[in-house]
Structures are given as structure tokens and as C-alpha cells.
């Protein structure tokens, strides 16, 4: 595959997918300023390479949430992947398992908790959106426990859905309705359309039965949107802490005080994230918020970063600002949408190759040795 960067995979995916589907994966909320800021925050940081170091051997291995990982990288939860590639969730999970890194299954995935556990044994985390139907949510959590998922990831930055205007412009709405615009759009990608017709409309398998009439992925997605629970608060989070006996990760933190409160009630890790810029436009870039959060939690729990990672060197920069590891979502989405499991594997390979090369060029021989000194001090964001 002639893809040498995540941007190359994005370009291939864009050519293969209908515009509406690509924009659903690629886009952000409103003016997409936070989406852009996530990437630009990494570009502002400059590295300070140490020279004359023996870098013939590089060790990228590390621990994430106390367990070994081949590198400081995990796959972020991404929903509706099956619209980009049939069984795309399974493909990404298998790619992660082959690479020796954790994979996070989204509540809105097009593969079930059990199917992923059977098809892609590895380090599995389950991400739960907070639904009004508490019994249904608790049942999902129980299913993840029975399937032996090692961590539960609770997304806390989505009391309501964001305003993603690309979807409006493309007539991509839920519940889905065919219009002249989107029918023409789909027809321009006959190979993608042929696969969809051959395999049928993807279904968000974890959410079957959320509403009796919701059978298609679009209808179920609509029911999920209606069932986000804006009343979810710290007391409810404590209840989930009591339900889940393993690692509990809170994703969607930008404020230091929220991070401290999450740790105080027993959460095992915090993910600094703005939901990839898909919800609140104008929110702080994840990397800009990271140093403040890491300083606040004072090494009591691991802090992970999600948002804007497109290069292996970005992992170095995130670790230098205090992150134990990073999560990537769009990178493997572009990969799987470009070429299925081979594309997802290629995305991970690209990031690892760039990470190793960046470590060599910076004179750092192991992941554990990455610290603030790899950054050029003149252009640091505050408190890095």
C-alpha cells in the first residue's frame, strides 16, 4: 500500500468513501476550531534532540494502566466504523492485538462486546456512553465484565450531542432519510456501495433492543442521541465505580479540578480529551490542557491523552507533557476505511515507525526515558 503517513491513509479513505461517510468520520463540530487546534497544538512544540547517543536499539515498550504494551499507544473508541468498511471494528481490534496495544470498543460500534472478545483477543477496554436507560447501561457493563474486558471507559463529555454541520450539508442525519443529494453521493462510490448492498446496513450491535423499533444503525444512532443522559453527575459515576470491579477510566476531562475529583472517587485513570473536537467547538486543545491536568493529579493515577495525534513524534510530545500514553481514533479509522484490516495495521505501523525514528533522532532509547527535556524550552505551552 502506497501510504507513508496518516495523511496518505486519510487521502485514500476520502477517495474511497462517499463524502457523507468520510465527513462523518473526519469532521468536527461547528467551525471545527477545536478539531484543528488539537493538531496545531502538537505542531507548536519543538523537540530538542540530544546527540552522540547510541540509538542502535530502541525500546518502545511501556505499561498502560499497569499492564504491558508494545508502545505508549491505545486505540480510542470510534463508533459506526462498519459504514467505512464491513466488520471494520473487528479489523481495527485485530490490528491492535497484532501490534500488542490496547483496543477500546465503543458502545456505538458495529460489532458486539462478545464478537470482539472472540475475534480479537488482546487487551480490550469497553467504552460506555451514559444512557437514560440505566438498566440497559448496567447490562452493557455486566456484559463487558463477563467477556473479561480489562477496563471500562466512561465518556463524560457528551451530555448532549454536538452540532456537526458537515453532516447537515451532506444530508447525513439520523434517523437517516434518502434524499437526491445523498443518493447521488453514494452512487459516486460504486465499490463502497456494492459492499454495503452485499453485506447489508451495519447495525450497532451493542445497542440492539435499546428501542424496539430501532433496527438499522441509523435508527439506533438516533435512539442513542435521544437517550444521552444530561442528568448524569458525580453521584452516578460513583455508582458505576461500585458496579465495575476492574480498571475504571474517565474520558473527556479538560479541567484539573474535574480530574482531581475523578481520582478522589476512585477512578484509575483520566483521559484528557475534547472528544476529537466533535462536540464543543471552542474547547481547549487536549494537549494544551494536558500539563495542567497532570500537575493536578500529582502522579496519583495515569493520565492519557486523546486528540490530534497524527505522527509518531506526537507521542513523544504528549509523554513529555506528562501523558503515560496516547489514544488514536481517526488514524486507524482512516486506515480501515482505506483498506480494511491491512489499512488499520498500516496506520499503527506508520505511527510506530515514526515513533522509533523520532526517539533515535532525539537521542532517547526507551519510552520510559522520555521527559520534558526532549522539548525545546522556548516554545513550550504553559507548565509543560
Taking the C-alpha atoms of residue 186 and residue 269, their distance in angstroms, rounded to an integer, is: 41
- End-to-end CA separation in angstroms for the chain: 38
pLDDT of residue 225: 57
Question: CA Rg, the chain, in Å?
Answer: 20
Q: Which of the two residues, 39 and 179, has the higher pLDDT score?
A: 39
pTM for this prediction: 0.93
The closest alpha carbon to 130, from 96, 102, 161, 168, belongs to 161
Q: Does the pLDDT of residue 173 top 70, yes or no?
A: no
- Mean pLDDT for the stretch of residues 110-118: 97
CB atoms closer than 10 angstroms to residue 130: 22
Q: Does the pLDDT of residue 381 top 80, yes or no?
A: no
Q: Does the pLDDT of residue 337 top 50, yes or no?
A: yes
Give yes or no: 275 in active site.
yes
pLDDT of residue 211: 58
CATH number at 6-375: 3.20.20.70
Please, which pLDDT band fits residue 215 given cuts at 50, 70 and 90? very low
Active-site annotation holder among 11, 199, 215, 275: 275
Please, which pLDDT band fits residue 176 given cuts at 50, 70 and 90? low
pLDDT per position as a tens digit, 287-310: 999 999 999 999 999 999 999 999
Q: H or E element: which one contains 270?
A: strand 269-272
Q: Where are the domains of the chain?
A: 6-375
pLDDT per position as a tens digit, 135-160: 999 999 999 999 999 999 999 998 88
Please, which pLDDT band fits residue 179 given cuts at 50, 70 and 90? confident
Q: Does the pLDDT of residue 372 top 50, yes or no?
A: yes
pLDDT per position as a tens digit, 70-84: 999 999 999 999 999
Q: Does the pLDDT of residue 213 top 80, yes or no?
A: no
Mean pLDDT across the chain, nearest whole number?
Answer: 92
Amino acid at each position: 500500500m502506497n501510504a507513508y503517513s496518516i495523511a496518505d491513509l486519510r487521502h485514500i479513505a476520502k477517495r474511497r468513501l462517499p463524502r457523507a461517510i468520510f465527513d462523518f468520520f473526519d469532521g468536527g463540530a461547528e467551525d471545527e476550531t477545536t478539531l484543528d487546534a488539537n493538531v496545531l497544538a502538537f505542531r507548536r512544540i519543538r523537540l530538542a534532540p540530544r546527540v552522540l547517543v547510541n540509538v542502535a536499539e530502541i525500546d518502545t515498550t511501556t505499561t498502560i494502566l499497569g499492564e504491558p504494551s508494545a508502545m505508549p499507544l491505545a486505540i480510542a473508541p470510534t463508533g459506526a466504523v462498519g459504514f467505512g468498511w464491513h466488520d471494520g471494528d473487528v479489523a481495527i481490534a485485530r490490528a491492535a492485538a497484532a501490534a500488542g496495544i490496547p483496543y477500546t470498543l465503543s458502545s456505538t460500534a458495529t460489532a458486539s462486546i462478545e464478537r470482539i472478545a472472540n475475534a480479537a483477543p488482546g487487551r480490550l477496554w469497553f467504552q460506555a456512553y451514559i444512557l437514560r436507560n440505566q438498566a440497559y447501561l448496567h447490562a452493557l457493563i455486566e456484559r463487558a465484565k463477563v467477556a473479561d474486558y480489562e477496563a471500562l471507559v466512561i465518556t463524560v463529555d457528551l451530555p448532549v450531542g454536538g452540532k456537526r454541520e458537515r453532516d447537515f450539508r451532506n444530508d447525513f442525519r439520523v434517523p437517516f432519510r434518502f434524499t437526491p443529494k445523498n443518493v447521488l453521493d453514494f452512487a459516486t462510490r460504486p465499490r463502497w456501495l456494492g459492499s454495503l448492498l452485499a453485506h447489508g446496513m451495519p447495525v450497532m450491535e451493542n445497542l440492539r433492543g435499546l428501542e424496539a423499533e430501532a433496527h438499522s444503525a441509523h435508527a439506533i444512532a438516533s435512539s442513542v442521541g435521544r437517550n444521552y443522559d444530561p442528568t448524569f453527575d458525580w453521584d452516578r459515576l460513583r455508582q458505576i465505580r461500585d458496579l465495575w470491579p476492574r480498571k475504571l477510566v474517565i474520558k473527556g476531562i479538560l479541567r484539573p479540578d474535574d480530574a482531581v475529583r475523578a481520582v478522589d472517587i476512585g477512578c484509575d485513570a483520566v483521559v484528557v480529551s475534547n472528544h476529537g473536537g466533535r462536540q464543543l467547538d471552542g474547547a481547549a486543545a487536549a494537549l494544551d490542557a494536558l500539563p495542567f491536568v497532570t500537575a493536578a493529579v500529582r502522579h496519583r493515577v495515569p493520565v492519557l491523552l486523546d486528540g490530534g495525534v497524527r505522527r509518531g513524534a506526537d507521542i513523544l510530545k504528549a509523554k513529555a507533557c506528562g501523558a503515560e500514553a496516547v489514544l488514536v481514533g481517526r488514524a486507524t479509522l482512516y486506515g480501515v476505511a482505506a483498506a480494511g484490516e491491512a489499512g488499520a495495521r498500516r496506520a499503527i505501523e506508520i505511527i510506530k515507525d515514526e515513533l522509533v525514528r523520532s526517539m533515535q533522532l532525539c537521542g532517547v532509547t526507551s519510552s520510559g526515558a522520555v521527559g520534558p527535556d526532549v522539548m525545546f524550552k522556548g516554545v513550550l505551552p504553559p507548565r509543560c
